[in-house]
Structure 1
Amino acid sequence: MNDVMPFQSPENAGESARTANLQTLALRPLALAETGLSRHFLTELMIKHLYDAGLLSSKQLMQRLALAGPVLEELIEFLRKEVMIEVHGQGFDKRELSYGLTQRGRETAIDAYARSGYLGPAPVPIQRYREVVAAQTVHHANVTAASLNSLFADVVLRDSLKQQLGPAMNSGRAIFIYGPAGTGKTYITQKLTGLFADTCLIPYAISVNEQVISLFDPLLHQPVESAEQSPSLMLDQGHDPRFVHCRRPEVITGGELGMEMLEVHFNPVTKEYQAPLQLKANNGIFIIDDMGRQRATPMEIFNRWIVPMEEKQDYLTLGAGRHFQTPFDQILVFSSNINPLDLADEAFLRRIGYKIYFGFLEPDEYGRIWQQVCAEKGINFEPQLLEFVLTQLHAKHKVGLRPCHPRDLLGMAQDRVRYLGGDAAALNIESLTWAWDSYFVRLDAEVEMSSTTLNRRNDHV
């Protein structure tokens, strides 16, 4: 009799390998001691869930706490001995027992809520979090010329920039992208996360001396599994479900950035701690856009990053001045249309490995973008109109060629044609000239609205 190996499709084989890797990275704890958390902490978290829901079955408790059955059984047995929970017969699904709080349990839950308002899956101890972040570091991802060219296959980006961006992403050092407004800095930097096809594990929360800090953010983290698949993670096999299997994070902030967003935030109403942005960006990319226009000053922000950039560690503070150390494993990207020398001193700029300048386009690059936008908007491409824009508008008015101009000018010209009832696929010199005049600030208007003129004519304000 021949031994026949079961057939696995490439997709199933890949899924099996990925599951095995996740199990190795974060093995599911099957005993209370393996969670890294005390029995006192977990029982308080469990009774808060029961206080919140009223009655919960074992399966529901496993899902809420992200703990395996054997761990849950230990907690239930202890709480029953302490007369904090009681069995309420069959649960809502009529197939298993459900549990509720006794009067003593309710009083304990109220006391627990007074100390911490966190109500979610069991957190991951900070030391275990450090180990997982190190094992899945973003700096082990290998960016090649082939992967970069593939990512930007449909983007007009000169080779000299690609040859800088690729090595910069492999370097593990911070990147400063600068140049005039409208030269594609934000668009290109936001596409860089597409270079990472792999995934990582992100905990719902971490525990620092059993103070819980919420970390998983559905606005920033994209789970690979859907919420409907989560019950399958509650089996006594697979990776530790206190972690969410996600795409590598992409955290982007701009002018709204304040120094408080880079520190652990405590909500005195809910009594919960929330992780800062850089902690949420671990194992991914953190982009600070429009550098120099934040609520915090550039030097405040830059000084905040000196130690993390050099040591690959960050130091955060909980209440009462308690400090703790976290990994700083991310690709940090600054983007600005302000001269870097006007934002930071040489000592800081030296610590940034790559300074990449995004300048104006060459006419052929501008033309390729023009043709792409025409195809996207269903506009007939006419070389003579492109030539008119380049020579009679840009060159005549001495306006540099920026990647944003084709889309903006063609879109506005098309708006006018539609308004006049014409064919939106057919533009002409008149519509493009109108778009140009509407897009750029007129010189005479700029002079008329100068501060000197306004002071003389303030009776019209």
Structure 2
Amino acid sequence: MHTIEHPETLLAEEQAVVQLAAKNRGIFEIATRSDTHGPAIRAGIDKLYDPADPTYAMRCCETVPHLIELQLIRQSEVPKRFQLTNFGWQLSRNLTAKLKEERQFAGADVASDTPPHDPMQMTAPIRREAEELTPTSPEPAFGATIPRAIVSESPATESHGSVPSLVSPTPPVSITRTPPPSMPDFGGKKRVESGLVSSLGLDEGFLPPEPQTLAETGLSSAAIEDLILKIVQNAGSMTGRQIAEVLCLPLAVLEDCLTTLRNRQHLSPTGSAMLGDYVYQLTDNGRQRARLAMQECAYAGPAPVPLDDYVASVEAQTIRTEKPKRARLVEAFSDINVEPEMLARLGPAISAGKGMFVYGPPGNGKTTIAQRITRCFGQNVLIPYAIIEDGQIIKLYDAACHERVNSQMSSLLRHNEHDQRWIRIRRPTVVVGGELTMDSLELKHDPVSHISEASLQLKSNCGSLLIDDFGRQRVNPTELLNRWIIPLENRIDYLSLANGKKIQVPFEQLIIFSTNLEPHDLADDAFLRRIPFKIEIGAPSREEFIKLFEMFSKKLKVECPSESLNYLLQRHYDSCGRPLRRCQARDLLDQALHYCEYNEIPVIATPEILDHAVNNYFTAMSGKE
């Protein structure tokens, strides 16, 4: 049983959800529409959305599981629709009473200037940090301006497609008072877990709604029918829901196509399935048409999305929209040793989202640092499985380049979350080295299957493209740089389809050139000015090398006494002038570990074992680098 005496113990967004529901007879829903650019809580003509704060709608959506846990709301029979419980109605009345009390306390004479308002028009809750409230840490006295993040649309506005207008806000009230002596906890966590946003699928500004009609897919009925026939031919027999699952489209969208194929005697229902569905097989006419469709294009997978939709998605999810700060960089590089001075140089380059040269002697962590740069950008992105343009299908999703995010989707939002033709991935990091050729930068058309494979820069959109060991590719560096001068300048690229048509695609990635060579030896000034950041990663200092040895000693569980480390530095570095490299600490300790394991002796890096490791490691080298 709840005793809701102090509503301010709830987060501002949680209070806003309850107030919005109370205004609409206790009912609200989570819906994705174009005017909010993603999911938002709606009740009648109102919605929790703030154009000045794009994350506000998302924060309100993620409070739903906690409000259900507190028994303030419950899920209705309609998917993604919720209603207030008795406790929720009680909280709504307390919020209204609290507002009146605060106004009286602040001396605000609102009633004399404006007619009575309902709870939603009177206030939006006071924003506070989502922190745990404990008896030993009472809530501080607060003085805040009441924000307005509730958008109201009149029926006339909706019918004409106009931009919704904000509800006229109540005059700001500055409140400073002593909080109640105790803040009861309703149970459950007050802090929203950082992974909850991703698990609910609400961490992206771009969220394409699930198509409700064939026209909304952007595909022709003939293209959908060919895909259905090819899928059934490959499987032998399938139910309508299985076909819809493979195509990543709702069954309701495919009903007309399935009916047309049955009427034309291309599909034949051979049995019934659950919920009024049927099991389908190809007829002789269907097999003939499927063979012709397979000869034209062998693709038989999730329905592709139009190129224009993909271009819009890249513009909405571009890596330049995120501006990682120092704390994000520290977290991304926490598992490796990076000096504060290096972070200070890398930070502005990463935050800018523009290209960079990372250069310096080999073995100092250029590739390691470059591969971790994408970790600084926290959001996941949505990409389509395949793209279609002028009848040509381009496969975009590549498991070798894209890390799929297995969303632990709450059942609250599992129904019709978004267009399932889009897959949620981490911002990609595409790494290529000496194998890079000019052909890798173009669409790869298979003359047998008639399916095109996306180019490297297309796969790396909204992420990072790392050209490792730049200058050592089989292709001349000048040709490679000339290929990218225009894309780097204009952020667009031009690719050729198999039918000869040129298409314009986004070039929206953080491109990183990692090289052991001097940048001026590889490119002229015209290209270097388009790569604004040049980061030199030099050799480590003696202190940093010792710190690396200690770090890898703990990581590899190899005991390395300080006497052994001093011996190593004096005997094998100082005496012969060998330069220090960051990779050597890990590599030498790894040699010592395998030596001890093989000889079944304690894992201790003694001077003798380090001599053995050095002899193995540097034998192929000249002794001086």
Residue 459 of structure 1 corresponds to none
Residue 429 of structure 1 corresponds to 607
Q: 1:30 aligns with which of 212, 227, 236?
A: 212
- Residues 121-160 of structure 1 aligned to structure 2 (within 5 Å): 121-160=302-341
Mean CA deviation greater in 8-17 or 109-118: 8-17
State yes or no: 1:203 paired with 2:381: no
C-alpha distance in 2, partners of 1:300/1:79? 51
Q: Any conservation in 2 of the 1:173–1:353 contact (CA below 8 Å)?
A: yes
Summarize the Cα distance change of 1:357–1:293 in structure 2 as closer, same or farther, 3 Å threshold. Answer: same
- Structure 1: tracts of 5 or more residues without a match: 447-461
Summarize the Cα distance change of 1:21–1:378 in structure 2 as closer, same or farther, 3 Å threshold. Answer: closer
State yes or no: 1:69 paired with 2:251: yes
C-alpha distance in 1, partners of 2:205/2:244? 18
State yes or no: 1:188 paired with 2:369: yes
Letter in 1 for 2:500: G
Residue 452 of structure 1 corresponds to none
- Residues 35-114 of structure 1 aligned to structure 2 (within 5 Å): 35-91=217-273, 96-114=277-295
Q: Any conservation in 2 of the 1:85–1:102 contact (CA below 8 Å)?
A: yes
- Aligned-pair identity (%): 36
1:300-349 CA deviation, whole Å, 9 max, x = no partner? 22122111111111111112321101111111111011111221122111
Summarize the Cα distance change of 1:224–1:415 in structure 2 as closer, same or farther, 3 Å threshold. Answer: closer
Q: Any conservation in 2 of the 1:315–1:326 contact (CA below 8 Å)?
A: yes
Summarize the Cα distance change of 1:287–1:443 in structure 2 as closer, same or farther, 3 Å threshold. Answer: closer
Summarize the Cα distance change of 1:183–1:19 in structure 2 as closer, same or farther, 3 Å threshold. Answer: closer
Letter in 1 for 2:451: E
Query: How many Å apart are 1:18 and its aligned residue?
Result: 4.8
Residue 617 of structure 2 corresponds to 439
Q: Any conservation in 2 of the 1:173–1:332 contact (CA below 8 Å)?
A: yes
C-alpha distance in 1, partners of 2:194/2:539? 47
Query: How many Å apart are 1:379 and its aligned residue?
Result: 2.5
Please report the RMSD computed on the Cα atoms of aligned residues, expressed in angstroms: 2.8
Residue 395 of structure 1 corresponds to 574
Q: Any conservation in 2 of the 1:123–1:207 contact (CA below 8 Å)?
A: yes
Letter in 1 for 2:540: L
Q: 2:451 aligns with which of 254, 258, 272?
A: 272
Summarize the Cα distance change of 1:441–1:65 in structure 2 as closer, same or farther, 3 Å threshold. Answer: same
TM-score of the superposed pair, with normalisation by structure 1: 0.89
Residue 341 of structure 1 corresponds to 520
Give SS of 2:527's match. Answer: helix
Q: Any conservation in 1 of the 2:295–2:449 contact (CA below 8 Å)?
A: no
State yes or no: 1:3 paired with 2:181: no
C-alpha distance in 2, partners of 1:255/1:129? 30
Letter in 1 for 2:387: I
Query: How many Å apart are 1:365 and its aligned residue?
Result: 0.3
Residue 327 of structure 1 corresponds to 506
C-alpha distance in 2, partners of 1:419/1:260? 46
Q: Any conservation in 1 of the 2:205–2:317 contact (CA below 8 Å)?
A: no
Residue 225 of structure 1 corresponds to 406
1:192-243 CA deviation, whole Å, 9 max, x = no partner? 22212211101000011121111111222122226x98999995x2200000
Mean CA deviation greater in 357-366 or 70-79: 70-79
C-alpha distance in 1, partners of 2:205/2:328? 28
- Residues 410-429 of structure 1 aligned to structure 2 (within 5 Å): 410-425=589-604, 427-429=605-607
Q: Any conservation in 2 of the 1:37–1:210 contact (CA below 8 Å)?
A: no
Letter in 2 for 1:359: G
Q: Any conservation in 1 of the 2:359–2:519 contact (CA below 8 Å)?
A: yes
C-alpha distance in 2, partners of 1:281/1:391? 46
C-alpha distance in 2, partners of 1:23/1:138? 12
Give SS of 2:387's match. Answer: strand
Q: Any conservation in 2 of the 1:23–1:238 contact (CA below 8 Å)?
A: no
Q: How many residues align?
A: 442
- Structure 2: tracts of 5 or more residues without a match: 1-85, 92-185
Letter in 2 for 1:290: D
Residue 301 of structure 1 corresponds to 480
C-alpha distance in 1, partners of 2:197/2:621? 61
Summarize the Cα distance change of 1:444–1:344 in structure 2 as closer, same or farther, 3 Å threshold. Answer: closer
1:112-133 CA deviation, whole Å, 9 max, x = no partner? 1111111111101000111111
Q: Any conservation in 1 of the 2:227–2:300 contact (CA below 8 Å)?
A: yes
Residue 458 of structure 1 corresponds to none
State yes or no: 1:315 paired with 2:497: no
Give SS of 2:581's match. Answer: coil
Q: Any conservation in 2 of the 1:63–1:231 contact (CA below 8 Å)?
A: no
C-alpha distance in 2, partners of 1:190/1:98? 48
1:143-170 CA deviation, whole Å, 9 max, x = no partner? 1111112222342212221112111112
Q: Any conservation in 2 of the 1:66–1:234 contact (CA below 8 Å)?
A: no
Query: How many Å apart are 1:27 and its aligned residue?
Result: 1.0
Give SS of 1:291's match. Answer: coil
C-alpha distance in 1, partners of 2:546/2:578? 15
Q: Any conservation in 2 of the 1:116–1:271 contact (CA below 8 Å)?
A: yes
C-alpha distance in 2, partners of 1:262/1:230? 39
Give SS of 1:366's match. Answer: helix
Query: How many Å apart are 1:268 and its aligned residue?
Result: 1.8
Mean CA deviation greater in 178-187 or 78-87: 78-87
Summarize the Cα distance change of 1:51–1:282 in structure 2 as closer, same or farther, 3 Å threshold. Answer: same
Residue 451 of structure 1 corresponds to none
State yes or no: 1:247 paired with 2:426: yes
Letter in 2 for 1:25: L
- Residues 361-376 of structure 1 aligned to structure 2 (within 5 Å): 361-376=540-555
State yes or no: 1:212 paired with 2:212: no
Give SS of 1:166's match. Answer: helix
Give SS of 1:122's match. Answer: coil
Letter in 2 for 1:439: Y
Q: Any conservation in 1 of the 2:200–2:410 contact (CA below 8 Å)?
A: no
Summarize the Cα distance change of 1:38–1:73 in structure 2 as closer, same or farther, 3 Å threshold. Answer: same
1:426-450 CA deviation, whole Å, 9 max, x = no partner? x22222223222222478899xxxx
Query: How many Å apart are 1:17 and its aligned residue?
Result: 9.2
- Structure with bigger helix share is 1
C-alpha distance in 1, partners of 2:449/2:533? 42
State yes or no: 1:382 paired with 2:561: yes
Give SS of 1:397's match. Answer: coil
C-alpha distance in 2, partners of 1:245/1:444? 49
Give SS of 2:399's match. Answer: coil
Query: How many Å apart are 1:419 and its aligned residue?
Result: 4.3
C-alpha distance in 1, partners of 2:518/2:384? 38
Summarize the Cα distance change of 1:442–1:107 in structure 2 as closer, same or farther, 3 Å threshold. Answer: closer
Give SS of 2:424's match. Answer: strand
TM-score of the superposed pair, with normalisation by structure 2: 0.66
Which gives a bigger RCO, structure 1 or 2 (Cα 8 Å, sep 6+)?
1
C-alpha distance in 2, partners of 1:318/1:357? 39
